[in-house]
Amino acid sequence: MKPIVRILLTGTGSPAAPGVIQSLKNSEDYKYHIIGVDCNSFSAGFHMTDRHYVGPKASEEQFIPFIEQICRTEKINVLFSLVTDELIKLSEHRDVLSQCGTYMNLSSVPVLQMVINKGILYNELQKMGIAVPSFQVTSSAKQFKKALKAMGYPEQPVCFKPTISDGSRGFHILDDHIDRFELMFRHKPTSVYLSHSDLLRVIQGRKEFPELLVMEYLPHEEYSVDVLAENGKVMIAVPRLREATVGGISTKSLIRKDQDIIDYAAEVVERLGLHGNIGIQVRRDRSRQPKIVEVNPRMQGTIVHCTAAGINLPDLAVKQALGVLPTHLESKVKWGTRMIRHWKEVFYDADGSSYTL
């Protein structure tokens, strides 16, 4: 009989949650009892958990006491968070939760603070001699306009994104050379492309201005690299070529052994001393060299693709948290595995009971 491990999964309404839960339920070694937590009472992931709680956001004062109480009541062995905003608070209270018998695969607070802010991340990687896109951090409209010119705009397209944001929130490509007719009538209205005149209309007269990372446009292939790391030591790195995305989530991807992408992601993880499940977002520049887009110090939205390719990273992360370090993982990867994602619905009765067809 498989030993039972009790998991607390926060962010059960996130895009990653269904795949993480599926991965855990496919474990060959453990039977998982999964407790879900989300601030949304109609979280789709709740339907897949054994029990769930609706709780406060990380920004609320009662967040840690709430999590601690669940860990004690439910006798949680391992806690996974799928919410970037929660990670620093959870890491700060690692000792409190370990007294409940709950373990987490999280990087240290200083490392999390470094990688969650993209401006700090790019600066640190540049100091380490790791290739990063040309970039500037701006905090005013005046600085922003100067940065655009410094990045080669309008001759070259330029990207920008808030220094602290999750997924594709706030990401835009400023490009006045794109066919506006094509964009208007053949692209979805959620396109990331933006013209200079559109941008000026939005920021004109605004007193507040977010801190933005302005960076060179990386025109070639985009990868998500799922990594399992032990205090900077990479145990496995699996690149997923992102062939199609919707709202920052892969809808079509391919597990591909591009060694330069693996080596680049591994260097980032090792030099930063990251720990646990890590996602490294990489794109190829105009010379097809890999450069960082961002680091997600948690499980990524399409980690289930790795499970299908023979590497069950959520299950391996539990083993890591419990002190059973996995070895010889690369030989298990089924390179060339492709994923096509489709919609699946969860329904709720008037009394709040969930079901699927």
pLDDT band at 49 (very low <50, low <70, confident <90, very high): very high
What proportions of the chain, in percent to the nearest 5, are helix, strand and coil? 30, 25, 40
Residue 353 within any structural domain of the chain: no
- 139 is in which domain, residue-wise? 134-216
Q: What is the pLDDT of residue 190?
A: 63
Share of the chain above pLDDT 90, in %: 77
In terms of domains, do 207 and 139 share one?
yes
Query: How would DSSP label each residue in 194-235?
Result: E-HHHHHHHHTT-S----EEEEE---S-EEEEEEEEETTEEE
Task: Judge if 12 and 95 occupy the same domain.
Answer: yes
Q: What percent of the chain is modeled with pLDDT above 70? A: 99
- CATH code assigned at 177: 3.30.1490.20
Mean pLDDT, residues 229-240 taken together? 96
> Poorest-confidence range of 128-137, 148-157, 198-207, 250-259?
198-207
Residue 177's pLDDT band (cuts 50, 70, 90):
confident
pLDDT at 69: 97
Give the CATH number for residue 247: 3.30.470.20
**φ/ψ (deg, to 5) at 296:** -105, 110
Answer yes or no: is pLDDT of 61 > 80.
Answer: yes
Contacts of 49 (CB under 8 A, 6+ apart): 9, 12, 21, 34, 35, 36
CA-derived radius of gyration, the chain: 21
Do residues 142 and 279 lie in contact, with contact meaning Cβ atoms separated by under 8 Å?
A: no
Same structural domain, 64 and 87? yes
What CATH number is associated with residue 28? 3.40.50.20
Categorize the per-residue pLDDT at 202 as very low, low, confident or very high, splitting at 50, 70 and 90.
Answer: confident
Residue range 199-217: average pLDDT? 83
Based on the fold, state whether residues 85 and 147 are members of the same structural domain.
no
How far apart, in whole angstroms, are the C-alpha atoms of residue 202 and residue 213? 17
pLDDT value for 43: 92
Are 239 and 262 a contacting pair, CB within 8 Å?
Answer: yes
Residue at 124 is within a domain: no
Together in a domain, 245 and 199: no
pLDDT in tens, 219-232: 999 999 999 999 99
Is 354 inside a domain boundary? no
For 174, other C-beta atoms within 10 Å of its C-beta total 23
Do 158 and 246 lie in one domain? The reply is no
> Does one domain contain both 278 and 324?
yes
The pTM (predicted TM-score) of the whole model is: 0.92
For residues 203 and 227, membership in a common domain is answered with no
Domain total of the chain: 3
Cβ-count burial 123-149 (b if 16+ within 10 Å, e if not): ebbeeeebebbbbbbbeebebbbebbe
Q: Are residues 210 and 226 in the same domain?
A: no
Mean pLDDT of the chain: 92
